[in-house]
Amino acid sequence: QKEVEQDPGPLSVPEGAIVSLNCTYSNSAFQYFMWYRQYSRKGPELLMYTYSSGNKEDGRFTAQVDKSSKYISLFIRDSQPSDSATYLCAMTSGGGSARQLTFGSGTQLTVLP
């Protein structure tokens, strides 16, 4: 079993929809959580960065972390065709391994105009 599980999709939604992307994890030591967006043939772009449990909002994006359930989510409001990409969750523990990220497999999202 992988440490981080992410539904690979593909996920297809109409423009303007609310998108929910999720990851579950098994390592209770994880405490830093990130969401990246990756367009085809490009490097991952950092969208959200959160520490421990709670919510964080940035424009149309909201990240939620529930450490008790080992579950993280990314919500995209008013989705746009330009949001079509692969979304990757990533996480890490603290201390000496703080910068060793473990990634989910990515969810491919298509927003239809």
Partner 1 sequence: KAGVTQTPRYLIKTRGQQVTLSCSPISGHRSVSWYQQTPGQGLQFLFEYFSETQRNKGNFPGRFSGRQFSNSRSEMNVSTLELGDSALYLCASSPAIGLWNTEAFFGQGTRLTVV
Of positions 25, 35, 36, 87, contacts partner 1 by CB under 8 A: 36
24 binds partner 1, rule: CB under 8 A: no
Nearest Cα neighbor of 34 from 7, 52, 60 is 52
Residue 26: is it exposed, middle or buried by C-beta count within 10 angstroms (0-12/13-18/19+)? exposed
28 binds partner 1, rule: CB under 8 A: no
The first and second tokens of residue 44, run together, are 């991952």
Of positions 22, 73, 105, 110, contacts partner 1 by CB under 8 A: 105
* Nearest distance, CB of residue 20 and partner 1, angstroms: 21
| Binding-site string for partner 1 from residue 41 to residue 80, where x marks contact by CB under 8 A and - marks none | xxxxxx--x-x-----------------------------
Nearest Cα neighbor of 49 from 18, 91, 97, 2 is 91
